A and B are shown apart, each in its own frame.
Chain A
Amino acid sequence: MMLDEDVELLEGLPIAHIKSINSIVVADMHLGYEGAMAGEGAFLPKVNLKEICREVKEGIARSGAERVIVDGDIKSEFSKVSVDELNELHGFASFLEKEGVMPVLVKGNHDNFVDRYRGAFRMEIYGGHAEIGEYLFLHGDKEPASIKRRTRMVVMGHEHPAITISTALGRREKVKCFLYGRYRGKGLLVLPAIGYFSTGMDVGAAGHGMLSPILRRGGIGSMHAIACAYGSTIDFGKVSDLRGKI
C-alpha cells in the first residue's frame, strides 16, 4: 500500500519502504526477549529472531532496499546487554551481512550499551535521532528538540500500536497497525512492533494513554490506523471513528 509517492507499506508486513533513500524501516525488535523471559521462569521457544529475519528478508526481496533502518528497541533489557541479546544481535547482523544490506540503528530506550558492539556488528548507530534524506527517524520515547524545514516525515516506533476488533460473541482479535497522520506540520508515521511477542497496545480503546510524548501532544484521534496482518495491509480509517465502535 502506498502512503504517498515515496513511502510504501509493504503488504502484510510491519515494514515501511522508503524509495528515495532505498531503505526499509522496522521498529521494536526486542531481541533477547525469550532469554529475558527464561530468566523469569517462562521458557518460551526461541522464534523472535527467526521470524524477524523471515519478514525482513521478504521486505528486502520485495523492495530491493540496500539499507535496513531499525527505529529503536533492537533489544530487550534496559540495564545491560545479556548473553542472549549479544548472540541474537550477532545473529541479526550476520543475517543482514549475508543479505548484503547495511544496518542502521536509531537507539531506543531499551538500547543502552549497544554502542560497544558497533564495530563488531558493522552497524551504524545513531543516538537520539537520524536524518536520512528528507526523513527524520527517531524511536519516539522523547520529542525531538527541533525539526528541520526540509524534513517531510517523522518515522517512529516505541508505541507498538494495534487495534482490537470484537467479532462474534464478544471475541476480540488484536492486529498490529501503523499510525499515520501529521505532527508539527510534517507527516508522522508510527511503525508497529516487528517483535514476535509484542502484540501491541490497543489504540482504539477509549481512555488509552499514549506512551510517546509525541503522540500525547496532538492525540492520535485524527491519525489513520492501518492494520497489517494475514498478508494484507488495510487502512481502517481515523482512530477517532474507531474508538468505542470496534
Chain B
Amino acid sequence: MIKKARTPYTEEESLEVLNGYVREWFVENFKGLTPPQRYSFKLISEGKNVIIAAPTGSGKTMSAFLSIISRLFQKSIDGTLEDKIYCIYVSPLRALNNDIYRNLMRPLDEIYESIRREKGLEIMQGSVHKVTIGVRTGDTTPRERAKMLVKPPNILVTTPESLAILINSEKFSENMKSLEFLIIDELHELASNKRGVHLSLSVERLGEMIGHDFVRVGLGATLYPLEEAARFLAGYSGGRERDCIIVDASWSKKLDLIAVSPSADMIYTDEKVVEELMYAELNRIISSSRTTLVFTNTRSGTERVVFNLKNRFKYGDEIVAHHGSLSRGIRFDVEEMLKKGEVKCAVSSTSLELGVDIGMIDNVVQIGSPKSVTRALQRIGRAGHSYKATAKGEVIVLNRDDLVECAIMLYAALNRHLDSFNTPRNALDVLAQHVVGMSLTGRWKVDEALEVVRRAHPFHTLKEEEFLSVLNYLAGSYVELESKKVYGKIWYDEKEGVFGKRGKMAKVIYMLNLGTIPDSVSVDVFTGDKKRIGSIEEEFLGNLKQGDIFALGGKLYSFDHASELRCYVSEAKTRTPTIPPWFSEQLPLSYELAVAIGNFRERLSDALSGYNKKHGISRMAMEMEIPDEASAILDMLPIDAKAKEAIFRYFEEQLLFAGTVPNDKLMLIEQTKDTTGTNYLIFHALYGRRVNDAMSRMAAIAMSDLLKIDVGVLVNDNGFVLTTEKEAQMDEKIVKGVMERITSENIFPVLKANIRRTELMRRKFRHVAARSFMVLKNYKGWRATVRRQQINAQLLLKAAEEIDPDFPVIRETYREIFEDMMDLPKARDTLRMLKGKVIRYKFIKTPSPSPFSHMMITFGHADVVLMKDRQERLQYLHRLVMSRIGKEMERRVARHDA
C-alpha cells in the first residue's frame, strides 16, 4: 500500500535507531534533524520503502543515507561486513554522483576514525572494516572497473545506464547478490521520461537476478502526484503494489516569489528597449545579492545572458555559464567556484536545476516562463541553502503572454497547485532493449519473463500480446529464415514459449547501444563559397524555408537550400532572426496551468467588461488608472507594479481591438492576415500544448478534407494556427464545417491515419527505431556512417508498415506521439466539452492579428497536414510549382518590357 507519513518521530526516536558511533558523529556535526530526517531515519532502518520529497538544503542526502551507513558500520563492528555491495545509489547526473561520493567520504572516514580510536585492536586484527564507497559511470576508467570487480565498494554510486550494463555483466552481478538498499535520486527527473522507464526495468531485473527484494528509497524535489511517484519507485510484487511510505517535506522552505516585468508597457515598447530594461533589472538583482543563480530556458539563452551581462555591465569572470554543451572540465570548475563562493552570478539552462551541490545561493532569477509550476519550484528551491531559509525567486518575463503565464504560475506555486507528471507506459522500445538484456543472462520462459517485466510500474499493464510482438520482432520474424542470423537479436522458440541468447553480437549490441537519449543527426552548414560555418540539427533544418534567418555561432544567416547532409546559407543583412533557434527545446505548457490562465483571463475580462458596461468602452481607453474591479484581481497575483500595469494594458488592448478575451471556456477563432500577406486562422485554445497539438491536427485534417489542400499547422501554448494558400479558404462557413467535423469519437483513427505522413512521425520513428535496436547507433565499429544517416525515415517507416502495420516499432511511435507528446485523453475530453457547448467558440475576422495572437504566429511547432487524396497529389504539386513559375515568368516579362 502507498501511505503518507503523517506524524514525524521525535528526535530521540529517530536517533535511537542509529549505531552509537554514527549517532555520535551526527549529533556532533548537525544542529538537529531536518523535517525529512524526522521520518526517514526510523522508516529506512525498519526496512520500509520510502519516497522523500524535499527541497534543496533539507539534508536529503543524509536523510537517505544515514540509516544505511549506520547499518553497514554495525555490520563492520559485528565483523560481518564483506567486500560486497550492500547499497546502490542511482542518479541521472554524473556530477551529482561525484558530489555524493565526496559528501559521504567525510562521514565514512570520521566515523571509522572514531571506531578506530576505541577499537584499535580489533581493527588491527582485521575484523572491523571501513565502509567503502565507489563511483561507477561512463567516465570510470577500465582500470578502476577492474579494481572494483575484485574489491567492490559497499556503497556503489552509479547512473541508470551504467546500472543497465552492470546487471548484464556476469562477473559483477555476483557482487550485487548481497544488495539491501537501493536509492534513486532526482526521481522527478526520471519518473517522467523513458530514461526512468528504462531504469525501472533494470531495477526489477536486478531484484530477479539476486533473488530477493531490497529497500527502495526515492529522493526528489517538488513532484506531483507523489502517490504515482511512489508506485514508480516501489513497483509490484506478486501482482500487488509494493508498500511505500511517502514523506512529503516539499513545502518545508518558505517561498518569496515575484514576477517582474521589464516595462509597464509590453505592447508598444521596442524590443531592444525591453531587452535593455530586462538586463538592467537583472543587474539590479545581481548587484544587490552575494550570489545569484539565473535560469534561462535554453543553452543558447544562457550564452546570450552571460555575454550581455559582461558586455553591458563590465563584469569579469565572476559571471559564469553552466550548461550541458560545455565540457565536463568547465562545468566542474564552475561548480567548485560556486561552492567556494567565488561566483557573483551563475547562468544555467537546466544543468544546475538538479541537486548538484553549489553552495549558498541568495537568489534565483528565472528568465522567461519555465512552463510548469513544478519546474519553477524546483529551480527557485535552489535558493537559500538551509531549509530554514526562504527561497527567493524572481521571474523576469520576456513578453506579454509570458507575463500572464508567469504571474499565474507563481500564484499557483504559492497556493501549492502543482502540475502533474506523466510516466510513459508500456514503452515497447525500452522493453525491447531489456528483453535483449534478459536473453543474454539465460533461457527464459515467456510467462516468467513477462511477470518480471510487469513488476515495473511503467509496464504493469503490459499485454501479453504486446510482449510477444516484441519477442517476435527481436527474433527477426520480419525477414526470411536465412537472414535471421543477422537480423535476430534473441533466440525465440514460439512453440515452447522460451527465449534466450542468440549469437555473439547480441551482447555487444546491448552494451554499446542501450539507453534512451536519441542521437540527433547534424547537418553541416556551408556558405555559398563552400566555407563550413558549423552544424544544425536535422530537426531544425526541417522547419526552415528559403529566406528564413537564423543565428549560428553568433552570426545571422539566411537559408538558401539543403542537400542530403548539407545546408547552404548566405550571410543575412538584417539584424533579427525570423526563426528562434530555441523553440524546439521549449517545454510544453501544462494543461493545469493553461486552464488556470484561462480562468484568470475570464475573471479579469469579466471585470473589465463590467466596467465598460457601466462607463462605456471609451472611458477605459482614456483613463490612465486601472479600474478598481480589475485592480483587485491583479493584486492577488505575485507581481510587481510594472507587471500589473502591463497585464492590464494587454487585456485592455485585446478588448478594444477584438471585443473578446478568449479563455478556457471560450475558444476564439480568428481569421486574419499579417503584413506579408500570409493568411491565418488562429484558434485561441487554453488547454496546454499537449492537448493543442492533438486538436490542431484534428482541425487541420478537417479543413484539408473539406478543401482538398495541404494545411499548415503551428502549435503553440496558447492555441494553434492554421495556414493555407488562399484567404478565401478560411471563411466562417469553413470554420463551421471544421468545428462540426472534429469530434471526440474518432480522434484516434483520424489522427493516426494522418500523422503517418507528417515530419513528426518520421522524426519520432527514427528515434524509436534506434531505441528498439532496429537502427543501431553503434555496430561493429560503424558509428552512423553517411550512408546510414541518409536512410530516409519515411521510407523505413513505409517498409516496416508493408511488413506489418502493427510492427512494435511503429506501434511504439504512435504511442509516444499520442500519450507522451500529446495528451489524447484530455484532447478527447475537450472536444466533448466543445460538442456539449460547455466550451463555446466564436468566430471573428480581424484586419490584422489581435494582440493575443501576436506571439502565436511568431513562435510555434510547425507541421503540415497533407491532403488525403493521394491520387491527385502529383497534380496538386504540379499546380503549386506552375503557379510559382508562372509568377516568375510574369515578372520576367514585366522586366523585359520595362
Task: Please choose the segment from B117-125, B231-239, B779-787 that sits at the chain A interface, where 4 or more of its residues have CB less than 8 A away.
Answer: B779-787
Task: Pick the interface stretch among B206-214, B280-288, B482-490, B746-754.
Answer: B482-490
Bound CA–CA A234/B879 (angstroms): 11
From residue B224, how far is it (CB to closest CB) to chain A in Å?
Answer: 36
Number of B residues near A (Cβ < 8 Å) is 68
Report yes or no: A38 in contact with B486, Cβ–Cβ below 8 A: yes
A229 on interface, CB distance cutoff 8 Å: yes
Q: Is B873 an interface residue (CB 8 A)?
A: yes
Q: Is the pair B802, A168 in contact by a Cβ cutoff of 8 Å? A: no
B787 surroundings in chain A (CB, below 8 A): 37, 40
A72 contacts the other chain (Cβ, under 8 Å)?
Answer: no
A61 close to chain B: CB less than 8 A: no
Interface of A is mostly: mixed
Give the contacting residue for A206; candidates B560, B723, B863; CB below 8 A. Answer: B560
Contact among A168, A196, A208, A237 with B795 in the assembled complex (CB-CB below 8 Å): A196
Q: How far does the alpha carbon of A246 sit from the alpha carbon of B799 in the complex, in Å?
A: 28
B563/A175 in contact, CB under 8 A = no
**Cα–Cα distance between A42 and B878 once the two chains are bound (Å):** 35
A-B contacts at CB below 8 angstroms, number: 152
User: Using Cβ atoms and an 8 Å threshold, which residues of chain B touch A35?
Assistant: 483, 486
With A205-B563, A207-B561 as given contacts, are A44 and B791 in contact (CB-CB < 8 Å)?
yes
Q: Mark A203-246, 1 if CB is under 8 A from B, else 0.
A: 00111100000000000000000010111111011000110111
Residues of A within 8 A of B482 (CB): 83, 87
- B799→A47 contact, CB < 8 A: yes
Contacts of A50 in B (CB 8 A): 802
Partner of B779, one of A40, A232, A241: A40
Contacts of B796 in A (CB 8 A): 44-45
Asked if A241 contacts B885 (CB within 8 A), the reply is: yes
Which of B775, B785, B888 makes the CB contact (< 8 A) with A245?
B888
CB of B707 within 8 Å of the partner chain: no
Q: Identify which of A83, A175, A196 contacts B874 (C-beta below 8 A).
A: A175
Is the CB of B871 closer than 8 A to any CB of chain A?
Answer: yes
Q: Check if B543 is an interface residue, CB within 8 A of chain A.
A: yes
Q: Considering the complex, which residues of chain B in the window 457-497 have a beta carbon less than 8 Å from any beta carbon of chain A?
A: 478-480, 482-483, 486-487
Q: A170-B862, A232-B875, A237-B885 are in contact. Are A42 and B799 (CB under 8 A)?
A: no
The reply to whether B802 and A45 contact each other, CB–CB distance below 8 Å, is yes
The reply on B624 being an interface residue by CB < 8 A is: no
A41 B877 Cβ-Cβ under 8 A: no
Q: Tell me, yes or no, whether B545 is within 8 Å of chain A by CB.
A: yes
Interface residues of B in 95-123 (CB under 8 A from A): none
Known contacts A169-B712, A245-B888; is-contact A175 B877 (Cβ 8 Å)? yes
Query: Which of A46, A170, A201 is close to B479, meaning CB atoms less than 8 Å apart?
Result: A46
The answer to the question of B759 belonging to the interface, with a C-beta cut-off of 8 Å to chain A, is: yes
Produce 1/0 per residue, A85-97, CB < 8 A to B. 0010000000000
Query: Would you give the shortest CB distance from A103 to chain B, in whole angstroms?
Result: 22
Q: Are A37 and B545 in contact (CB under 8 A)?
A: no
B896 within 8 A of A: no
A242 to B561, CA, bound (A): 13
Given the complex of chains A and B, what is the CA–CA distance between A165 and B875 in angstroms?
12
Interface residues on A, range: 35 or more
A42 x B874 contact (CB < 8 A): no
Contacts of B563 in A (CB 8 A): 201-202, 205, 208
A171 at the interface (CB under 8 A from B): yes
Residues of A within 8 A of B874 (CB): 175, 227, 229-234
Once the chains bind, are B546 and A230 in contact (CB under 8 Å)?
Answer: no
Distance in angstroms between the alpha carbons of A242 and B882 in the assembled complex: 9
| A170 cross-chain contacts in B, Cβ below 8 A | 543-545, 548, 862
Contact A205-B875, Cβ < 8 Å, known A170-B862, A230-B870: no
Residue on A nearest B787 in the bound complex, by CB: A40
The reply to whether A40 and B782 form a contact with Cβ atoms under 8 Å apart is: yes
A167 interface residue, CB < 8 Å from B? yes
The CB with the most chain A CB atoms within 10 A, among B723, B780, B884, is that of B884
- A5 contacts B by Cβ under 8 Å: no
**Cβ proximity bits A37-79 to B, threshold 8 Å, 1 near / 0 not:** 1111111111100110000000000000000000000000000
A64 CB, nearest partner CB in chain B, Å: 25
Cβ–Cβ contact B802 & A40, under 8 A: no
Min CB distance B428 to A, Å, is 16
8 Å CB contacts to A: which residues of B705-731? 710-714, 723-725
Chain A hits for B561, CB < 8 A: 205-207, 244
A43 and B799 form a contact (CB under 8 A): no
Bound-complex Cα distance A44 to B878 (A): 32
Query: Taking A40-B782, A169-B723, A246-B884 as contacts, is the C-beta distance between A234 and B875 under 8 angstroms?
Result: yes
Instruction: Point out the residues of chain B lying under 8 angstroms from A46, CB to CB.
Output: 479-480, 483
In this assembly, does B356 line the interface, its C-beta being within 8 Å of a C-beta of chain A? no
Are A45 and B776 in contact, CB atoms less than 8 angstroms apart? no
A166 within 8 A of B: yes
Chain A: minimal CB distance from B11 (Å): 58
Given A167-B710, A167-B864, are A45 and B803 also a contact pair (CB < 8 Å)?
yes
Task: State whether the Cβ of B840 lies closer than 8 Å to any Cβ in chain A.
Answer: no
* Residue pair A168, B483 in contact (C-beta under 8 Å): no
Residues of A within 8 A of B873 (CB): 229-230
The interface residues of chain A lying within 8 Å CB-to-CB of B546 are: 166
User: A170-B548, A196-B795, A227-B874 are known contacts. Are A242 and B864 too (CB-CB below 8 A)?
Assistant: no
Check: A113 CB closer than 8 A to any chain B CB: no
When the two chains form their complex, are residues A207 and B568 in contact, meaning their CB atoms are under 8 A apart?
yes
Residue of A whose beta carbon sits closest to that of B798: A47
Q: Does A8 sit at the interface, judged by CB under 8 A?
A: no
Given A169-B712, A231-B871; A197-B792 close (CB under 8 Å): yes
- Say yes or no: is A141 at the interface (Cβ < 8 Å to chain B): no
Q: Does A4 contact B (CB under 8 A)?
A: no
B487 CB to closest chain A CB (Å) equals 5
Instruction: Say yes or no: is A84 at the interface (Cβ < 8 Å to chain B).
Output: yes
CB <8 Å contact, B881 and A169 = no
Q: How far is the CA of A40 from the CA of B775 in the complex (A)?
A: 9
C-alpha spacing A45/B483, complex, angstroms: 11
B146 to chain A: closest CB distance in Å?
A: 28
Chain A residue numbers with a CB within 8 Å of B330 are none
> CB-nearest residue of chain B relative to A41?
B779
Q: Does A151 contact B (CB under 8 A)?
A: no
In angstroms, Cα B880 to Cα A234, docked, is: 13
> Given the complex, which residues of A lie within 8 Å of B881, measured CB to CB?
165, 236, 242, 245-246
Residues of A near any B CB (own CB < 8 A): 35, 37-47, 50-51, 83-84, 87, 165-171, 173, 175, 196-197, 199, 201-202, 205-208, 227, 229-234, 236-237, 241-242, 244-246
What are 30 of the A-B contact pairs (CB < 8 Å)? A35-B483, A35-B486, A39-B486, A41-B777, A41-B780, A42-B774, A45-B796, A47-B803, A165-B877, A165-B880, A165-B881, A167-B866, A167-B877, A168-B723, A169-B545, A169-B723, A170-B545, A170-B862, A171-B712, A196-B795, A197-B799, A207-B528, A227-B874, A227-B878, A231-B871, A231-B874, A232-B871, A232-B874, A234-B875, A237-B885
Q: Which residues of B contact A (CB under 8 A)?
A: 478-480, 482-483, 486-487, 509, 528, 543-546, 548, 560-564, 568, 710-714, 723-725, 759, 773-780, 782, 785, 787-788, 791-792, 795-796, 799-800, 802-803, 862-864, 866, 870-875, 877-878, 880-882, 884-885, 888-889
Shortest 9 CB-CB contacts between residues of A and residues of B:
A41-B779, A170-B545, A41-B776, A169-B712, A168-B712, A230-B873, A232-B874, A171-B864, A47-B799
> A41-B776, A42-B788, A171-B864 known; 4 other A-B pairs, CB under 8 Å?
A40-B787, A43-B773, A171-B712, A233-B874
